[in-house]
Structure formats: C-alpha cells, structure tokens
Structure 1
C-alpha cells in the first residue's frame, strides 16, 4: 500500500516525517518518540481515514480514530486511567470506559494480564521443552557410545582426568564429537537460514510446525540407529528442525506479547528449555533401569518424539503472529487478519485497534528510507529468483545499515557469550564430566543423578527472572551475574586440586550447581530474547537467524571439541573449568561496553534505541556511567544516573521552558539534546559539537487549546521534537505522574 503523507499548511509535515524516518536509522541525539508525534488531530483523522478505507473497513471508523488518539497520547491516557478523580480527562477527545481503564493499567502493571495469550505461551513452552529434551537425549546417549560403535571414548575411561593416565584423544572421541555436534552444526548452517524463507512464506507458526515434524521423524529414526554414521545422518535432520524452531519460536512470542512484558513471554523459551533438560535427565535415569544398554539407548534417543507430537497439536490452536500480516510490500500483508488476531489476544477492542494502527505507522517509518520516500510503490517480490535476491539483500543490509548493524553486534555478543560461559558444557557433557570425576565408566547412574541436579537447578532458578527480566532489565541481569559466574567457575576449577575423591567431587558439584543457579536468570534467557526483539520487522527473521546461528554454531564447536583433543582430553576438568571462567570475564566486558537495554519498549521503539551510534554508547558507558558509578557507590554522592536517551513517550518534560539544541543532521531537522538532559539531571554533552539556542516550550502534557481559527494555541512555539497534543489534559498529582514514568527512566539504557 502506498504511504499517505499528510502535509500541514506550514509545509512542515514532509520534513518532520523525513526526520522521523532518518532518526530510525541515525539517531544522533538518542530521542525516543512516538511514531504519531508530528500529526495534528486533523492530520491524524485524515490518516486514520485512509488506513480505515484501505485496510480496516470492516471496523467502525470512529472506534479506530478513538484508538489512534489513545496511541498518540499513551502517557496522558495512562494518567487518566490511574487517576482517582472521576472528572480527569473529561475534556479529552476520548472518554475511557472503566473496563478500558483497568485494561490499560493492567497491561503495564500486571505480568499476565493478557490471559488470552495462553495458547501462544503453551505453544512456545512446548517448543522450548522439546529443545531441552533433545539436548538431554544427546547428553544421555553419550554415556552409551559403545552401543553405536565407539568403545574407545577417552573422557569415559577410568582415570581419564589424571595427567599421568593415557588421556590422548582417540579417533572415537572425534566421532562422538561429530555425532553430537551434527544437529547444532546443521541447525546453524542450514536450519536457521531456512527460517527466513519459511517464515516469509508460511509464517512463524508454519515454520515451527515444519520443525516439529522434522524432530518427530528424526527422533523415531535415531531410536533404530545401530552405528554412529546412521545416528549422525539422522541428527542432521534433527538439527534443521532445531534451527527452524530456535529462530521462529522466540519471534512468535516477541511479536504477540505486550511490549511492557515482552521479555517475560520470550523467557518461556529458556525457562522451558531448562525444564525440558531437567525432565529429559529424569527420563534418562528411568530408562537406565531397563538393565539393557541397547534398550536404554533406544528409549533415550527416541523419547523426544512424544513432546514433538504435543507441539504439533498445540500449534493447531495457536494464532499466527499479528505482525506477520503487517509487513508491507509482502504477499502476506493483511491488516484485517492482524487486527482479528490482536482482538483475540488483547483484553479490549481499544487495545487491539490501538496496537494495529501503531504497528502500521511504525512500520511505515521503518520500511521507507530516503531513497523511496518520494516513490513508495515498490512491488511485492514474486518468483524464486526475486525472492532469493530480496533475502540476500536483507542479510547484506544487516552489515551496512547502522540500526541493523548495532542490533546484530549486541545480539551476537550475547549469543556467543552464552556458549562460551560454560553452561552448555554442563548441558551437553555433564554425564561425561562427572563420569570422569567419579572414575567409574561402568556405571552411568551417578553421572545421570548429577546431571538431573544441574537440570533442576537451571529450571528452578530461572523462575525469578519471569518478572524481573522486564523490571530489572536484560542488561542489568547480565552485568550482575557474569562476574559471579566467573568466580564460581574458577572456584570449581580450583576444587579439582582437592585431595580426596569424595571431597573433590562434592566441591566441584557444589560450585557447578551455584554456577547454574546464577546462570539461569541472566545469561540463560537473554540471548534468545535479544535475538528475537532487537531487529525491525523487515529484517527480524534475518537478524534473528544470524544471532542464533552464532549461538548454535559455537554450541556445535563445543560439542565437537570438548571430548576431543582441544579441551577436555588435554585440559581435563580443572583446565576446562578455568578456561570458561576467563571467558565469563571477557563476556562481562563485552556486554558492559556494547549491549543496549531493551526492556519495556515496543518492538518498533527499539529502532530508535539501536539507531544511536555504537561509539556514542561506548563513550557514554566509559566517560559518564563509570564515573557516576564510582561517585555514587564509592564516594557516596547522591547523583542522578546519567542517561544516553531522551524519552519523549513516557518521560517527557513537564515544565514550561526548556533549552533547545540545534543539530542539523542533513535533513533540515532540529533535535533536542543536552538541554533536556540537564533539566532531568543527566548533564553533559554528547560530543557532537552542537550549539544551544533557547526556545520556549509549552508544557509537554498540558496540550493545546483549540483557537477560533482551528489551530492550536502556542503551536508556533513548540519544538518539532515534541508531541502535538489534540487537546488539553488536567495536570494530575505528582504521585500519579511519578508512577506512570518511573520505569521509563531506565527503560532504554541501563
């Protein structure tokens, strides 16, 4: 559909729209703003009419306009909903019903207020459970390597961890590594990349269904494999399904959830992966009691077909992602279907219409660049060659566009850090690790017991992150837990020097369990959360596929090399654990310097977060945040935390004047920056050499009273970076104002 641009009589409309488009790619001042920021009420009415006529003619136009006004003035209507004054907002164009007020409050304050999301949560949880169950199956099967033709695996031999024993890697070590790594390699090299065309053609739900079928078939096939070569081939099919599912499932969760609690919904992926690992280890123990090694191995390898069956059933009832139908210039574009899904998922019609229109407007800004601003009639890609070309262009743009490149750097760093922290060594080879420690390769029972303990700790300690991943934030969880993980892994490494086998095993198990407990709410859920939410809709599958490919590729390398020459057989337990301790410290430094916060933002708002230059983000962390941290927590000075961003959606100014910064960025737009930061206690310049000029600004949340000529009083004095308000709003008590914006102060940075 062609973009309908509304131009104000003053001629500012085009420039302001152009500035918003540019800011989505190069946000030099760190401004976070509403996509409807520059529309007057007349322009909003006209734009809503065009959208209604072309896309949502089945709904009532007045209800759509009503929802659009709420979307444009999110903070104002949030304050009205929270006010105990029954006359609050009486002069606004939209009068909220009691049910709508409760729904608006609940979606921001209550974790699971959208109870209609149950079917999505169930499908996501089953997909994650299947992922963890498969990992446990691989782990348990490694203890029966001799049953598929690999009797000489070094890491399962008695005394394999002693330096004087014959611990040289054998050919069977490499064969076991290749067999275990094959699903992860092919998930990374084929499955993840196939998620882009499959998500494009059949949607997120369709791609997950294909993945479930592949894992179902490979699980049944692996149960009847008698050689490692056959098992390797079957696991290739399993890997393609894993890659498809690992990319598509978090995206489905991210695109259906409310932005305030998106992380908690995506967390279901990691939480139920951990639960799947735990249950998988429990079933490994049960299958061990078969007293027939061949039968036990068949049960361990074939068991994942059961959760894959339940996943296929759950997908029948699960709705498709509404954003899948909002992608303009694609064959799936159908806002009416998107609205019908949102109506099913949200509590009120107002919220469904609001989200549909807001996503539509955000995607207009996202998908229209400088080159096609004047001519937005790009054809939908059709034909195999054209589609392949468009997919390749998407991957290319991940590296050349700042907004996409920044998201790629952040998500890939966290994805890589998850593999290098050492947790997946425990998920994949805990049985092998404890078998070596116990020096008893003839009994798999105790290694399985320890593995079950790790799985249980990983699941139980992931529960605290259900709410805090959105309140505390993704970034803060990482910078708090990575140093502790480093210390705990080092303590486990030093424990290998303890004299006495029982004491040594007990200490190592203790520190490993603590490590798993700290890992679970931080590094566990956040890589897949960032991968699925950091990229715009136009490049979400491509960006997510690249980040998760990084994750799964290194998972495969760990699977390949841990039991072989490079890690376990040479470094043994102590050296291996010490290596991962150092990698945790490296991950902490990278996360602190390069990874942005994404909590409590809509998927579309994150365009503005990642459009800020990465070097500006690093400079802020080193030159402003670290000095503040030292002064605040070492010297005890009471100073406001510095912020890199200017939040005009939930944290706009309330006073009557402000300092304005002129910063031409090539398109004639004038941006706010340091004046606002100083007014909110954030001080400092941004290093761009921008000059200041004072401009009076009307109180950002009192709005404008209509004048006799139809314009708005004071409009000529309003900075173009401020929201235009269609009507006035009573200023509410300070305690209500503080409550509505308390989260936004930290929402885009720390």
Structure 2
C-alpha cells in the first residue's frame, strides 16, 4: 500500500504495516487514495510509512531489475531522502557534501546546472518561429492578397467592395498552419516521440520550420502558399506538442512553471521580432510580404543545431525502461548525484502507481483513455479549458490582424505597422513577471486575476472605435487599451496554457494529451483566423471586440470551475490532484472560494481565511521520519 487508507483505524493501519514488513518484493503496499477519486484533495508521499529495512530491500530489487546495481548505495540514500524530504539531516547514509547539496537546493531554488538552463533555452527558442510567423502573416496581409489577385476591402478605383470570397481566402491562407497543426501535426508527435525520442522529434520539426518559411517566400499563387503553410503547420503542431513536455520533464518542480513558460516567452519574442521585421522591410516594395513570411525560419536554426547537445528527457527514457540512461540524464540536470538518485526512485515509485489505472499500450488506446479514465479525463478537460480560453480571450485577433485593426482606426499602413510593433513589445516585456509569479501564486490564480482585466480592456478598445473622426487621439486610445490588454494577457493566459497542459497528463498519455491540448488551441486559432476578417466587416470593430470581451467572462467561469492548481508538485504527484472529482472541485469553488472572495475583498474582512482543496500532506513525512 503506497498511501495509508483514509478510512482505516489506527489498529487496521498497524496490522497493514506489519503485514507489509514481511514482504521481500518491490513495493506491494495497497494505496490509500484511489487515483480515480481523491475526495480529500491531499497529495501524499507514497514512501511514507515504509519501514527502513523494507525500503532498502525495495531499492535493491529496483536496482537489480533496472541494471543499476553499481549505484545501489546511492539509490538507497536517495530513497530515504525522498521518504523524508523535510528531515534528510537525520539520514546516516548521507555524507556532508550530499547534505550540503540538499541544503543549497532548498535555499537557492534557481541554482541548477547550466545544462538544465541551456536545454530549456534551446528548446524554447523554437517557439519564436510560431510567433514570428503569426506577425509575418500579419504584415503580409497588407500586400500578398493584391499580388495573388484576392484583394480585400474596397477597390480604390471603383470604391466598391471586393468579393466576399477574397476575405475567406485570405483568412484560409493565414489559418493554414493552424489547420494542419490541429488535424495532423499535433497527432504526429506521439509516433515521432515514440520512435525518435523527445530530441529526435524536436530536430525533425526544426528542419520543417527552417524549410517551409523559406519556401513560402518563393510562392507565386495563393494555392501554393496555402500548401506550403500547411506543411509548416505539421512541423509547428508536432513541435508545440513536444517542446513544453520536454521542458516540463526536465525541470525541478519548484521552478517548473517558470522554465516551461520559456515557450511563451520566446513566442512573445518571436511576435515582437516579426513585427520588427515587418517594419524593417516595409519599403521594399512588392517583395515585402515575401521577406516578412520567409524570415520566420531564423529562430528554427539554433533549435536544429543545438537540440542534440541537450540530454534526453529522463522520464521518456524511464518510459522506455532505459533506467541507466535516465540516471545519467538526471545527473546532468541536477547538481549532485544524490538529487538525481532521489528523483529517479521517487518518479519510478509514482509511475508504478500510474500503471495500476493506466495502460496506454497503443495509439488508439492512449487516445481513448483521455476520456475513459477519470484521472486522465479531468486533465483532458482542464487542458481543453485553458487552451480554448487562449483563443476565447482574443489575443490572436490582435496577433493575426493588428495591422488591419489599426487601419480600421484611421491610421496609415506605416502607422499600423508601428502600432503593431508596440503591441509586440508590450506582449514580450510583460511576459517576464510570470517568471517570478507562476510558481509562487500558481497557474490558476494568474488566470483568475487576468481574465477580468482582459475583458474590460478589450471592451474599452472596441468602444474607442466609436470616437468620431480619424485623429491621433482615436488611434492613441485604441492602441493604449490594446497594449493594456496585452499587458494583462502576457503574465497570465499567455504562459499558462502550454505550461499547464505539459504538466497535467500521466507519462503514458503525455504525448496524446498534449497533442489534444495543442490541437484544441490551434484548431480554434484557425477558426478565429478564418472568421475574423468577416466578423470585422459584419459586426464592425466595436462589435467584434465586445464579442471577445464577453468570451473572456465565459472563460473565467470555466477556469474557476474546472481548472485545479498544479504549482510546486512533481508531475507524478499531480496524479492525486486530478483524482479529485470535478464535482468536488466545483463544489469547493461555490461553497468556499466565492464566499471567501466576497468576505475578503468586498466586505474587507481581513481575518477571512480559505482552506485550499488541494494541499500537500506533510504529516506523512513527519510520521515517516519517526518510523524510519
């Protein structure tokens, strides 16, 4: 039993411990918390309560089975640290250097080997391609439709509107990468990861992301451009489904959010660089759009060149039963071998628990288990909500069409490009605060704070279109509220969806789960890209912005009810978080969180307290220290 039973008496628990102590095989204790229904919300240490002698036998069995006998004493010491994370100074198997390394880890959470940071940096930089492409097409929208015979807006010679079909075709070309990502690219990540590993998959997608932007610059019809951008989307989808997972699997739990959000930080930087490139090439005439689209290959180059200098994901290696290689990888990602030994054994024990409810033996089975296993289904729902919310919030109507929007406000094409550059700069700069808040305040808290702010700023930007005339004041106010909207988005809904989705699925379903999440994001991005030009015309900018402001409110409610917190827990401990029934989470929100909010922030009752539903149960650790 890995966890003491919640409903057992002290006598029954003692009998179970005595029975367990007579076993001479690897961990066979019966879990206390069902991974399908953790109604208490407690996250417990699976090693708590195991007598030291038995734990040493378990580790010996593990080392023999996995080909790690040369490191047996180190693994045994690591297992004791995992069992008593708060009381490692009492462990006699640890030497002074190992204890000092654990002290340093606790006191300096950002102190990790350079290899870890270079790995995260190398992988995340590839996200800039996605952001650069978004803004490259944003600027290209001002010129490529004319060259390919599908201009939009009004004919300057006749004053009549161009055919409505032109707007749909421009939207379709812009949406092509997201259509291909959602339908093909994301789902290819599972077989690519299976056969080539995390690094191999990332390398293949990097090559695609180098070739296709260059190819798009040499197209001579909208049909060819559409096909090239479809291929771009295949690489984008597989990369987007793999890079955040790779980063999450390498990162320590204490700063995992900050490291994985490097994906969003580089996406935002790519958006800024794309806008900057649009401005730089704006006066190059008819080839401007070719340079704007083609330049997006630049960030993919360092990704392709650097990925094989990074260690492979330890968890992927463990999934493939390549434990010696996983241990070597962890040693490169941690300062001291005792940390690597602790993490290896603790991850292994929790993975063994996962296997009791999850099989994931084939592609089809892994996909169906996203919806049929309660623990996985809750992760599927939560990731769906945060990814859908990223499109509902309206950020991509700005990222895709800001130049068009600013033209609607009465600006010139040059002014629109410079205003868009300002949006890109704000989007990038305001992503930095999330580095220090995402692991402190948590993913859920950031979302719940930022969505109401995005709703009112987007509505305000839309209402500014009602200001008469086309003067600088009108453009300035629209730009101000768009920038303010971006400033709230960047530290909240910007970094959270990809970070969150990379965390929440069990190892067996991680590729399929992340594919589902990213496909959700990119599918609705494609819908937005296709429909917004027509929506802008049918509803006017004010109506379109008001529509997305309303969607922000709906997204806030969905997050409140269906998205649990994941900060400061290992990927495997999150099994227990997503074992909490959805009704229990929603009930806690309605009965506890909402009343607390009104008491604390409306009635200003400073003594109001909120008992969190999800909490790490440290009592087990203290009890284990006494029994160890």
Scaled by the length of structure 1, the TM-score of the pair is 0.77
Q: Which runs of 5+ in 2 are unaligned?
A: 1-15
- Separation (CA, whole Å) in 2 of partners of 1:640 and 1:114: 39
**Which is worse superposed, 299-308 or 233-242?**
299-308
- Separation (CA, whole Å) in 2 of partners of 1:167 and 1:519: 35
Question: Are residues 95 and 583 of structure 1, via their aligned partners in 2, closer, same or farther at CA, if it must alter by over 3 Å?
Answer: same
- Separation (CA, whole Å) in 2 of partners of 1:203 and 1:368: 25
Equivalent pair of 1:346/1:352 in contact (CA under 8 Å):
yes
* Residue equivalent to 1:320: 312
* Residue equivalent to 1:136: 135
- Separation (CA, whole Å) in 2 of partners of 1:259 and 1:28: 24
Alignment of 1:394-413 (within 5 A): 394-413=366-385
- Separation (CA, whole Å) in 1 of partners of 2:397 and 2:339: 44
Question: Are residues 579 and 726 of structure 1, via their aligned partners in 2, closer, same or farther at CA, if it must alter by over 3 Å?
Answer: same
* Residue equivalent to 1:591: 559
* Residue equivalent to 1:267: 261
How far is the alpha carbon of 1:96 from its aligned partner?
4.8
Aligned length: 608
* Residue equivalent to 1:72: 83
* Residue equivalent to 2:302: 310
Equivalent pair of 1:36/1:72 in contact (CA under 8 Å):
yes
- Separation (CA, whole Å) in 2 of partners of 1:218 and 1:44: 54
* Residue equivalent to 2:11: none
Deviations 1:592-633 (A, max 9, x none): 111100001100000000100000000001012222232333
- Separation (CA, whole Å) in 2 of partners of 1:112 and 1:141: 43
- Separation (CA, whole Å) in 2 of partners of 1:108 and 1:604: 23
* Residue equivalent to 2:279: 285
Q: Select which of 60, 69, 91 maps to 1:49.
A: 60
How far is the alpha carbon of 1:157 from its aligned partner?
6.9
Alignment of 1:71-220 (within 5 A): 71-77=82-88, 80=89, 89=90, 92-98=91-97, 100-106=99-105, 109-154=108-153, 170-220=164-214
How far is the alpha carbon of 1:325 from its aligned partner?
0.7
DSSP-derived class of the 2:580 partner: coil
- Larger helix proportion of the pair: 2
* Residue equivalent to 1:550: 520
**Which is worse superposed, 340-349 or 214-223?**
214-223
Equivalent pair of 2:20/2:29 in contact (CA under 8 Å):
no
- Separation (CA, whole Å) in 1 of partners of 2:399 and 2:444: 24
**Which is worse superposed, 54-63 or 298-307?**
54-63
* Residue equivalent to 1:648: 617
The reply on whether 1:436 has 2:385 as its aligned counterpart is: no
Alignment of 1:461-476 (within 5 A): 461-476=430-445
Alignment of 1:178-577 (within 5 A): 178-290=172-284, 292-293=285-286, 295-327=287-319, 332-369=320-357, 390-438=362-410, 440=412, 444-502=413-471, 503-564=473-534, 567-577=535-545
- Separation (CA, whole Å) in 2 of partners of 1:238 and 1:273: 16
Question: Are residues 10 and 97 of structure 1, via their aligned partners in 2, closer, same or farther at CA, if it must alter by over 3 Å?
Answer: same
Question: Are residues 633 and 20 of structure 1, via their aligned partners in 2, closer, same or farther at CA, if it must alter by over 3 Å?
Answer: same
How far is the alpha carbon of 1:59 from its aligned partner?
3.2
Q: Which has the larger radius of gyration?
A: 1
Equivalent pair of 1:158/1:436 in contact (CA under 8 Å):
no
DSSP-derived class of the 2:568 partner: coil
Equivalent pair of 2:152/2:161 in contact (CA under 8 Å):
no
- Separation (CA, whole Å) in 1 of partners of 2:280 and 2:111: 35
Equivalent pair of 1:145/1:153 in contact (CA under 8 Å):
no
- Separation (CA, whole Å) in 1 of partners of 2:410 and 2:552: 26
DSSP-derived class of the 2:223 partner: helix
DSSP-derived class of the 2:218 partner: coil
- Separation (CA, whole Å) in 1 of partners of 2:80 and 2:29: 22
How far is the alpha carbon of 1:297 from its aligned partner?
2.0
Equivalent pair of 1:489/1:578 in contact (CA under 8 Å):
yes
How far is the alpha carbon of 1:125 from its aligned partner?
2.5
DSSP-derived class of the 1:121 partner: helix
Q: Select which of 7, 19, 42 maps to 1:10.
A: 19
Deviations 1:681-725 (A, max 9, x none): xxxxxxxxxxxxxxxxxxx62x5xxxxxxxxxxxxxxxxxxx464
DSSP-derived class of the 1:67 partner: helix
Q: Select which of 606, 621, 624 maps to 2:592.
A: 624
* Residue equivalent to 1:385: none
Q: Select which of 611, 633, 639 maps to 2:601.
A: 633
- Separation (CA, whole Å) in 2 of partners of 1:30 and 1:167: 59
Q: CA RMSD for the aligned pairs?
A: 2.4
How far is the alpha carbon of 1:104 from its aligned partner?
4.3
How far is the alpha carbon of 1:106 from its aligned partner?
2.9
- Separation (CA, whole Å) in 2 of partners of 1:486 and 1:148: 37
- Separation (CA, whole Å) in 2 of partners of 1:339 and 1:107: 21
- Separation (CA, whole Å) in 1 of partners of 2:586 and 2:380: 16
Question: Are residues 166 and 492 of structure 1, via their aligned partners in 2, closer, same or farther at CA, if it must alter by over 3 Å?
Answer: farther
How far is the alpha carbon of 1:148 from its aligned partner?
3.9
How far is the alpha carbon of 1:132 from its aligned partner?
1.2
- Separation (CA, whole Å) in 2 of partners of 1:59 and 1:361: 20
How far is the alpha carbon of 1:29 from its aligned partner?
2.1
Question: Are residues 112 and 512 of structure 1, via their aligned partners in 2, closer, same or farther at CA, if it must alter by over 3 Å?
Answer: farther
How far is the alpha carbon of 1:12 from its aligned partner?
8.1
Equivalent pair of 1:111/1:467 in contact (CA under 8 Å):
no
* Residue equivalent to 1:730: none
Equivalent pair of 1:107/1:114 in contact (CA under 8 Å):
no
DSSP-derived class of the 1:471 partner: coil
- Separation (CA, whole Å) in 2 of partners of 1:476 and 1:263: 13
Equivalent pair of 1:150/1:176 in contact (CA under 8 Å):
no
- Separation (CA, whole Å) in 2 of partners of 1:23 and 1:157: 66
How far is the alpha carbon of 1:40 from its aligned partner?
1.5
Deviations 1:45-84 (A, max 9, x none): 111001111214353311110111001111222xx4xxxx
How far is the alpha carbon of 1:135 from its aligned partner?
1.5
Equivalent pair of 2:115/2:310 in contact (CA under 8 Å):
no
Q: Select which of 580, 601, 616 maps to 1:612.
A: 580
How far is the alpha carbon of 1:534 from its aligned partner?
0.5
Equivalent pair of 1:158/1:439 in contact (CA under 8 Å):
no
* Residue equivalent to 2:6: none
Equivalent pair of 2:113/2:332 in contact (CA under 8 Å):
no
Deviations 1:294-336 (A, max 9, x none): x222211211222222210011212211100111xxxx32011
Question: Are residues 335 and 157 of structure 1, via their aligned partners in 2, closer, same or farther at CA, if it must alter by over 3 Å?
Answer: farther
How far is the alpha carbon of 1:199 from its aligned partner?
1.0
- Separation (CA, whole Å) in 2 of partners of 1:157 and 1:513: 31
Question: Are residues 545 and 112 of structure 1, via their aligned partners in 2, closer, same or farther at CA, if it must alter by over 3 Å?
Answer: farther
Equivalent pair of 2:393/2:551 in contact (CA under 8 Å):
yes
Equivalent pair of 2:98/2:338 in contact (CA under 8 Å):
no
- Separation (CA, whole Å) in 2 of partners of 1:18 and 1:11: 6
Question: Are residues 369 and 581 of structure 1, via their aligned partners in 2, closer, same or farther at CA, if it must alter by over 3 Å?
Answer: closer
